Amino acid sequence: MFQRAHELVTVTKDPQYTGANRCFPCTVVNLIIAATIATLLGVFVPSLGLVFFAFAVATIWLRGYLIPGTPELTKQYFPEWLLRWFGKAPPKPTAADVDPGEYLQQHAFIVEDEAIDDLVINPIIKEDWWVRVADLSAEQSDKAALSQFSDLPASELTLGWEDDAYVARIDEERIGSWESRSAFVADMAAHRVFASQTTDWDRLFVAQRAEIVGAFRLFIEQCPTCEGTVTMDQDVVESCCFRYDVIAGTCQGCGDRLFELRVDLEQEQEQEQPIDV
């Protein structure tokens, strides 16, 4: 009997908004709505208020929400500070003292290609980068590579998939995440190139190095995993309670995402400026 009930509940639960996908802000909003309605009903018929509240809590537990469309509402109307308080805010771009774009050009890692009137990876650097990609592939130790990059002991690092991100942690603390393993390999290879080509790389903070290799990744035209062509497209990133536009670089060979840049397309269109990556 219990087994059957458990099966029934399992099949009835909506996995999109329950379990690991449960949206905490949506659940809180729905519980407040349920409590308000139950109180109003309870004023007139106390038992009805209680029955309604029990029904509402069960519905929220099973479906993730009581009022249809609440996940959509929180996406649109919850301010970022409130979502952040719930731990649900979209990632904020971080600033560093070193401008990554300037750094890349100052060291001629990125150069102007007059033929196409655009910035590209310096061909010598590109060649070196591919050598480092091959080294990383042969070594087969992402942890050792990350340890070199972060100056943290490999034994204390963990690397693994969390939702759609390749995430690095030390103990429980999240220290970095990448859109794919290809993106991770691209950064670790770039780190080795820059460390060998400059004298100031070791003096930079790890966060600054991360920003610089991340900026370099925007110029990579071929996937380090399968050598497929990386193309740029507009996309929308959606979670349970936020949604934003991105310019995404995706490998046409293996489908790995090399980067995602958050953009405000409406604002870009108003300003009629090209998107500066």
Task: Label residue 46 exposed, middle or buried (CB < 10 Å: 0-12, 13-18, 19+).
Answer: exposed
Q: Taking CB under 5 A as the rule, does residue 225 contact Zn ion?
A: yes
What is the rounded distance in angstroms from the CA atom of residue 251 to the CA atom of residue 226?
A: 8
Question: With respect to Zn ion, which residue has the nearer C-beta, 101 or 228?
Answer: 228
251 binding Zn ion? (CB under 5 A): yes
**Closest CB to Zn ion among 107 and 181?**
181
Burial of 154 (0-12, 13-18, 19+ CB in 10 A): middle
Smaller CB distance to Zn ion: residue 254 or 277?
254
Name the minimum Å distance from CB 126 to Zn ion. 16
226 lies in the binding site for Zn ion (CB under 5 A):
yes
Distance CA 174, CA 112 (A): 36
Which C-beta is closer to Zn ion: that of 73 or that of 254? 254
Residue at token pair 């370099």: 216
Identify which range of 53-61, 73-81, 126-134, 255-263 contacts Zn ion by CB under 5 A. 255-263
Least distance from Zn ion to the Cβ atom of residue 184, Å: 13
Contact status: 101 vs Zn ion (CB under 5 A): no
- Euclidean distance between the first and the last CA atom of the chain, given in angstroms as a whole number: 59
DSSP letters for 22-53 = --HHHHHHHHHHHHHHHHHHHHH-HHHHHHHH
42 binds Zn ion (CB under 5 A): no
**Smallest separation (angstroms) from Zn ion to the CB of 187:** 15
Measured from the CB of residue 228, what is the shortest distance to Zn ion in angstroms?
A: 4
Closest to 73 in 3D by CA, of 10, 144, 82: 82
Inter-helix orientation angle 24-44/46-63, to 10°: 160
Is 253 exposed, middle or buried, given 0-12, 13-18 or 19+ CB atoms closer than 10 A?
A: middle
Cβ–Cβ < 8 Å for 188, 154: no
User: Least distance to Zn ion from the beta carbon of 258, Å?
Assistant: 8
Q: How far is the CB of 129 from Zn ion (least distance, A)?
A: 15
Q: In whole angstroms, how close is the CB of 185 to Zn ion at the nearest point? A: 10
| Nearest-angstrom CA–CA distance, 107 and 129 | 15
Nearer Cβ to Zn ion (101/253):
253
Binding span for Zn ion by CB under 5 A among 8-16, 221-229, 231-239, 267-275: 221-229
Judged by CB under 5 A, which stretch of 128-136, 156-164, 169-177, 248-256 contacts Zn ion?
248-256
By CB under 5 A, tell whether 215 contacts Zn ion.
Answer: no
**Of the residues 254, 261, 263, 265, which one makes contact with Zn ion according to CB under 5 A:** 254
Closest CA relative to residue 72, chosen from 246, 240, 262: 240
Footprint of Zn ion on this chain (CB under 5 A)? 223, 225-226, 228, 251, 253-254, 256
